[in-house]
Amino acid sequence: MWIDLAPFLATCLAIELTPGPNMAYIVLLSAQRGRAAGLLAACGVALGLLAIGMLAALGFAQVIRDTPWLYQALRWAGVAYLVYLAWDCWREARAPQPEVKQAQALAAAFRRGLVTNLLNPKAFLFYITVLPGFVSADTSYAVQIQLLTWLYVMIATVVHVALAIGAGALTGVLAHPEWRRRAGLVAALMLLAIAAWLAFKT
Count of structural domains, the chain:
1
134/111 Cα distance (integer angstroms):
31
Q: Which domain holds residue 168?
A: 5-200
Q: Answer for the pair 31, 174: CB distance below 8 angstroms, yes or no.
A: yes
Handedness of CA 104, 106, 110, 112 (dihedral sign): positive
CA-closest candidate to residue 164, choices 34, 18, 17, 49: 34
3-state secondary structure the chain: CCCCHHHHHHHHHHHHCCCCHHHHHHHHHHHHHCHHHHHHHHHHHHHHHHHHHHHHHCCHHHHHHHCHHHHHHHHHHHHHHHHHHHHHHHHHHHCCCCCCCHHHHHHHHHHHHHHHHHCCHHHHHHHHHHHHHHCCCCCCHHHHHHHHHHHHHHHHHHHHHHHHHHHHCCCCHHHCHHHHHHHHHHHHHHHHHHHHHHHHCC
In this predicted model, what pLDDT tens digit does every residue of 180-195 receive, in sequence order?
Answer: 677 667 767 877 877 7
Segments of the chain scoring below 50 in pLDDT = 1, 100
Per-residue pLDDT at 64: 67
67/59 Cα distance (integer angstroms):
13
CA-closest candidate to residue 109, choices 13, 27, 5: 27
Per-residue pLDDT at 4: 63
20/197 Cα distance (integer angstroms):
10
Q: Answer for the pair 175, 69: CB distance below 8 angstroms, yes or no.
A: no
Per-residue pLDDT at 46: 94
- pTM: predicted TM-score of the whole model, two decimal places: 0.74
Per-residue pLDDT at 45: 92
Per-residue pLDDT at 172: 63
Per-residue pLDDT at 151: 92
